[in-house]
Each structure stands twice: as structure tokens, then as C-alpha cells.
Amino acid sequence: MVNNVLIAVIGAGGVGKCFLGQLATLAARRPSPKLDLCYICSSKKAVFSADYAGIDINSATETLAASPVAPKSLTALADYLAAAPSKVVLVDNTSSQDVADSYPLFLGKGVSIVTPNKKAFSGSYDLWKAIFSASEASGAKVYHESSVGAGLPVISTLKDLVDTGDKVTKIEGVFSGTMSFLFNSFAPTEGKGGQWSAEVKNAKALGYTEPDPRDDLNGLDVARKLTILARLAGLPVASPTAFPVQSLIPTELESCTSGDEFLEKLPAFDSQMEATKSEAEAEGKVVRFVGSIDVATQSVKVGLEKFDRSHPIAALKGSDNIISFYTERYGSNPLIIQGAGAGGEVTAMGVTADLIKVISQL
Amino acid sequence: MVNNVLIAVIGAGGVGKCFLGQLATLAARRPSPKLDLCYICSSKKAVFSADYAGIDINSATETLAASPVAPKSLTALADYLAAAPSKVVLVDNTSSQDVADSYPLFLGKGVSIVTPNKKAFSGSYDLWKAIFSASEASGAKVYHESSVGAGLPVISTLKDLVDTGDKVTKIEGVFSGTMSFLFNSFAPTEGKGGQWSAEVKNAKALGYTEPDPRDDLNGLDVARKLTILARLAGLPVASPTAFPVQSLIPTELESCTSGDEFLEKLPAFDSQMEATKSEAEAEGKVVRFVGSIDVATQSVKVGLEKFDRSHPIAALKGSDNIISFYTERYGSNPLIIQGAGAGGEVTAMGVTADLIKVISQL
């Protein structure tokens, strides 16, 4: 094992701050290899030193806030890290497509990558191939557990199934903490639940949605996660728009120019979701927003489905995710992973756990 | 990464045969590093060559059956592997205490270990410490995912939680495929279920129990798994008999000299289990055999408990395990892993996945 590893961090927002806290604990606990933070940036600022001297991890957030230095361009950052005297892991805590697009560049220069950023693995299939080709060619690692289900062991479990020769036949579940919270409130297994538009407003007020709730309701977040899992299961899905994705944004509101305008006009369309809920209730069921991958028929889809009240997907609580893997070895009873699939600390946990695994291979 | 890795296998029974099948697929798929089987033995026979030339993995079972050679002693095997020209991973597919006791010897000589054998990690706390001290001193790895819940990602998830600084507060669940099958049949959430003794006989006939069902009913198997998880969560549990374990063997039948005698006499004691079942039913509940670890109070216990019919533990199917991790980060909703926790292929899957992880670090 190497003596020290340099860590470069892009993104110091919600997940980034939690990650830095976990990194500080990790660095203090593990004397070998020594973990040195050599670069950290937000969208506006950066901290680094020309000679890769470690930045104090405990005060990194404050040092960054006070820094007068602008972030390096991605190509300049790649050159800086490639010239480092030790092995380097780049931790991308953003959801930026630009950073994702540069992964092949970093990997090609021997810089390993750990990230919760979905964009790299759910964008074009060409980018997916470029990332894993660059990793294979240079030996640099790329880990992204938190790109699906935050810190839940989803990606690692699917990889273990595939790598040990099991055949995954179907994957299904609730992949969005936001959608889970919304439907557990709107159509609970016990009680009536609220009006759809009121539940959306409430979820936003509680911080369960993106700043613009349409970014959750359009289904793209779930479609991105399904794209990642389908590709790991062996399906060459072209993009997250290459399969049926049901949007919960009423057609008439697609042209709203802001999230606020959307929320204001949404109550007029409550009858649509109410009808869906009643239809399920008439069958003794509840409606949920789910994704599924059928490997044999190469069918991937995202949208509303009805479930018996006793079904594990119906019985979810809070903003929990649930992911069921059906495989040849596991037979009729799937391997199931369930728990919080969003939140700064649990997302950062997946990143930190990945970092530990990458370091052990350097 | 190294050019080739030598694999030595002890045990060619149910799990061992499945593992060899998975190893053959793995070796064929992954050109680098080359995986060479240098030693394989059952309790009676062995195959190896003095110059560590690879044994053909595809025909290893047949070659072993036809071999006139006796197995090496564990000390001779350790010397043989320590003298190997490449890195070595020892795969222990037995449940032997003798093999488990020799792990510090192998690890001390730089031989990594991958195993589903519970004995090493649930025996004396001194053995536990000796194993991990030897691993830390030499850098050799020791992985044992399949020692709890077969191929389910239980050990790896608990390690990730602890290593990233989360605080595990409670672990609970159904840890025995045999007990799961027995209670799902004896006290189903719907319908009446059968007589206790008849369900035990049926489970044995279907291969769900050990050859002597008392080895499941005494609770020791579950106690061993709880010991492993408690230690990983930071509790220095002295042994699997250091905490309360409820045995389902009636006191009067503890002196039976054979499993057959036990099964013959068991029906006379059905009223005890029937009373437990009725008591739960009167509360609208079902009885299940569970284990739990409360980290704060350092309390570990194994035995019968009552659960609401809608509780995930009550709703298990077949011989599935369920393990719930309550942690500070995950809050009131635990991280849950569920699925088959026994069977040759899924147990071997945990072993093979561990092997892949160890190889990536050599």
C-alpha cells in the first residue's frame, strides 16, 4: 500500500460538506496511508497549493469560503493532478454534466474518481464507454455507489451479482426519496392522504424536493438511476430518454416559466392524480411511482403503478427507497435493499465508503 | 496489479463445488490477473503440485475424487503456500474449527483468506483478535461476507457504516434460513400452519435443516452470526454463549443420543410451541425466531419474539433472512437487507465476490 494519497474535491455544497466531515474522521482514524486534501473548490472559489501540501481538512470549508482564488478549469485541474507526486483520487460532489464529461480525461491521466454524480453514468452511452475504457487503460478506479439510492449498497450489490456470474432477470423498486415521500403522504396504506398539489408544496417546504419540484416530477431523476442499473446489468441503454418515462407534470403546465408559477397553477390539475388514486383504491391498492428493468425483454420503464397495500413497495415509510433484484440464483424471492435513499450524510457515506475501497487498491 | 494469483481451496462439499463453478467462470472471463488453482482438498484427499502449476479448475472436482494423495496438514499447507512464487488466497469452504484456528498462521505468512466459515469469527475473542492482528501485521486480507446471511451484503454494509463513521445503534433480524422456513410454515401470517414437530420433520426432509435438526434448533448458529455482527459493531463479545440464547430443544430431549431419537420424541412436546403460537395469535401477532444487538446497552440476545402480522420480519417468505441496521445517520427507518440467506450458490457468491475484492488489492 502507498504511503499517502492525495484527495481533490469538487463541490462543497450539502453532500460536499458532509463528505468533508466524514473525510476528517477517516483521516484522523487511519494513519496509513496518509490522506492529504490537495484541492477543494466550489463553483466560485478554490484552495490548492503548487506543491500539493495538504490543506487542513477540519477547516477546509472555512478556508474555501475565505479564499480569493478562482477554481481551476477542468483541463488545468487534470494537468495539476496528473503532475502530483502521489496517487490522486478526485471526489466529484457536484451534479455537473461538465465535470462528468471530463471523467475520461482524469481517468486517462491516472486520477481515480469517486462520486455521487449521476450525470456521468446516465448520459450518453458513448460517455459511459469512454469512462470505463479510460479506467481500464490506465488502471485508475471509478466508483459511484451514491449515484443510485445514496449510501444504500445498490451498485456494489449489482456488481457483485454480475461479477460472480449470476444472471439478473429483473430490477424494480422506488428509486426517488422525493417520490417515495410524496406518494407515502398522498396515498398512504392507512388513511386518506392529502390533495396532490398540497403534498407537493409540503414536500418542497420540508426540503424533500429539488428547488424546482418539476425536476423531480418529470421522472428524469428516476430514469437516470434506471439507466445506470440497466447498463450495469448488461443493457446498452442509449440515454435516460430512450425508454418510457411518465412525467407527473400536466401537459398544460409544461410551459410554466418558473417552479413558483407551476406550484401556483398545480391545484387546478389535482383531479387527474385524484382519479388515479381512486382507481387504485377501488382495487384495494395504492399508487406508487416506480421504475423497473426487465433484462430478458430489454424493457426499462418509469411511472405510476398500483400495488397491494401489503406489498413491500406500498409499505415503504418516509422517503425510503426500496430496490429488488431478481436473479437466477435468488429465484422467486428477490434480494432486497431498503432504506433512506437521499440526504447529505447517507449520500456522503456512499462516497466515503467508495473512497476507502479505492484507496485500498492504490 | 499482479500478473497471477494462486488460489488454494479447502473443502469441496456443497458450497465448495458451487464456488469452483463460479471460479471457473471468473477465471475464464478475467484475463488479468491470471487465477491459478494450486491446491484443493476435501477431508480425505488433495491435489497439488510441488511447483504450483495450476490445476485445471473445470475438472478439479473429478481430479480430486480420483487423487490418491492425502490432504496436507494445516502447518504443511501454510509452509507450502508461504513458499509460493505469487500472492496466494486461501479459500476455506469448510465449517471446521481446526481450519479457523489456523487463520492467524496463514495470515502471518502473507496468505489472504476468504471464507464463509463462521467459526473463526464467532469463537473466542482471542482468536478474533489474533486473526485481525495477523492480517494487519502482514497486510494479508481476510474477508468473510458469507459468514452471515450467505451472499447478502451484510458484513460489507456493516463495515461501510462503521468505517465511514456512522454509529450503529441496533441490529435485528432473522438470521437463519432454517428458522425462517420453520416459522413461516408453523406460524404463517395467513392460515393456521402445521404442528411444530411435523414442520421440523418436513424442513429436514426438504433439506432446510442440518442433518441433525438440533444443530439448528439450539440457536447456536444464530448466536454465532450475532457474535460476528456485534464484534464488527464494536462490542467485544467473548463468545456465542456469552449472552442469552433460547434453545428450542425441550429440556427433556437434550439427552437424546441421536437426531432420529429426537425427532421421534418431539411430537410429545408440541403443546409447548403451540402455546407460544396461541399466545401470539391472541395478540394478533405471529412468533418468530430472531436475534438482536443493542449497542448502547451492549445487549445481545437470540430467541422467540412476537411481531405484528404487517411487520417486515413477520412477512418474510420461504427461507429468507432479513437484517435491519439502525444507525444515527439512517435515523428511525433502518437500512434493511433481505433475501435468501442459505444455499450453495448464494453462499459461494459471497465467497467469490470477496475473492474478487481481495485480488483487486493484491
Contacts of B315 in chain A (CB under 8 A): 310, 312
Contacts of B338 in chain A (CB under 8 A): 335-338
CA-CA distances (angstroms) from residue A173 to A158, A284, A337, B20, B349? 14, 20, 10, 33, 23
Contacts of B91 in chain A (CB under 8 A): none
Closest Cα in chain A to B166: A349
Inspect the interface and report whether the beta carbons of B151 and A22 lie closer than 8 Å.
no
Name residues 267-326 of chain A within 8 A of B (Cβ): 310, 312, 315, 317-318, 320
Interface check A356 vs B, CB under 8 A: yes
Look up the ipTM and state it: 0.95
Cα B225 to Cα B158: distance, rounded to the nearest angstrom: 13
Instruction: For chain A, give every domain's residue range.
Output: 4-151+345-360, 154-340
Closest Cα in chain A to B333: A339
Contacts of B332 in chain A (CB under 8 A): 318
> What's the pLDDT at A239?
96
> Which amino acid type is present at position A326?
Y
User: Is B16 labeled as ligand-binding?
Assistant: yes
Q: What's the CATH class of domain A4-151+345-360?
A: alpha beta
Inspect the interface and report whether the beta carbons of A165 and B336 lie closer than 8 Å.
no
User: Is A14 labeled as ligand-binding?
Assistant: yes
Inspect the interface and report whether the beta carbons of A335 and B340 lie closer than 8 Å.
yes
> What's the pLDDT at A53?
86
Mean pLDDT of B106-134: 97
pLDDT over 90 at B159, yes or no? yes
Inspect the interface and report whether the beta carbons of B340 and A320 lie closer than 8 Å.
no
DSSP for B110-159, written as a single string: T-EEE---SHHHHS-HHHHHHHHHHHHHH---EE-GGGTTTTSSSHHHHH
User: Is B204 labeled as ligand-binding?
Assistant: no
> What's the pLDDT at B41?
98
User: Is A210 labeled as ligand-binding?
Assistant: yes
Mean pLDDT of B32-55: 94
Cβ-nearest to A317 among B163, B333, B337? B333
> What's the pLDDT at B3?
87
> What's the pLDDT at B1?
65
Mean pLDDT of B186-214: 91
**What confidence tens digit (pLDDT) does each residue in A222-271 have?**
999 999 999 999 999 999 999 999 999 999 999 999 999 999 999 999 99
**What confidence tens digit (pLDDT) does each residue in A314-353 have?**
989 999 999 999 999 999 999 999 999 988 999 999 999 9
Residue with grid cell 484427499, as numbered in its chain: B45
Distance from CA of A330 to the nearest CA of B (A): 6
Size of interface A-B (CB pairs under 8 A): 123
Inspect the interface and report whether the beta carbons of B338 and A336 lie closer than 8 Å.
yes
Inspect the interface and report whether the beta carbons of A26 and B165 lie closer than 8 Å.
yes
Cα B283 to Cα B281: distance, rounded to the nearest angstrom: 5
Inspect the interface and report whether the beta carbons of A151 and B160 lie closer than 8 Å.
yes
Grid cell listed for B171: 441490529
**What confidence tens digit (pLDDT) does each residue in A39-90 have?**
999 999 999 988 998 899 999 999 999 999 999 999 999 999 999 999 999 9
pLDDT over 70 at A1, yes or no? no
Contacts of A152 in chain B (CB under 8 A): 335
Which of helix, strand or coil describes residue B263?
helix
* Strand B34-41 versus strand B4-10 pairing type: parallel
> What's the pLDDT at A8?
98
User: Is A16 labeled as ligand-binding?
Assistant: yes
Confirm or reject CATH 3.40.50.720 for domain A154-340, answering yes or no: no
> What's the pLDDT at B206?
87
Contacts of A170 in chain B (CB under 8 A): none
Name residues 29-58 of chain B within 8 A of A (Cβ): 29
Provide, rounded to the nearest whole percent, the portion of chain B with pLDDT above 90: 91
Testing the interface with B: which of A35, A57, A317, A329 to mutate, by most B Cβ within 10 A?
A329
Residue with grid cell 483478535, as numbered in its chain: B129
Cα B277 to Cα B60: distance, rounded to the nearest angstrom: 48
Residue with grid cell 477465471, as numbered in its chain: B27
Residue B317: active-site member = no
pLDDT category at A134 given cuts 50, 70, 90 is very high
Inspect the interface and report whether the beta carbons of A25 and B165 lie closer than 8 Å.
yes
**What confidence tens digit (pLDDT) does each residue in B314-346 have?**
989 999 999 999 999 999 999 999 999 988 999
* Model confidence, pTM: 0.96
Inspect the interface and report whether the beta carbons of A335 and B330 lie closer than 8 Å.
no
Contact criterion met (CB below 8 Å) for A221 and A342: no
Who's near B334: CB < 8 A, 6+ residues apart? A339, B170, B324, B325, B326, B327
In eight-state DSSP terms, residue A248 is -
Interface check A162 vs B, CB under 8 A: no
Grid cell listed for A160: 457483485
pLDDT over 80 at A102, yes or no? yes
Contacts of B339 in chain A (CB under 8 A): 330, 333-336
Q: Which of A72, A119, A225, A285 is catalytic?
A: A225
DSSP H helical segments within chain A, as ranges?
A: 14-29, 60-66, 74-82, 97-101, 103-108, 119-122, 125-138, 155-163, 177-186, 196-205, 214-217, 220-232, 259-265, 270-282, 344-359
* Strand A4-10 versus strand A34-41 pairing type: parallel
Q: Which of B72, B225, B277, B306 is catalytic?
A: B225
pLDDT category at B28 given cuts 50, 70, 90 is very high
**What confidence tens digit (pLDDT) does each residue in B48-75 have?**
988 998 899 999 999 999 999 999 999 9
**What confidence tens digit (pLDDT) does each residue in B247-302 have?**
999 999 999 999 999 999 999 999 999 999 999 999 999 999 999 999 999 999 99
Cβ-nearest to B330 among A160, A340, A352? A340
- pLDDT averaged over every residue in chain B: 95
Which of helix, strand or coil describes residue A333?
coil
Inspect the interface and report whether the beta carbons of A153 and B151 lie closer than 8 Å.
no
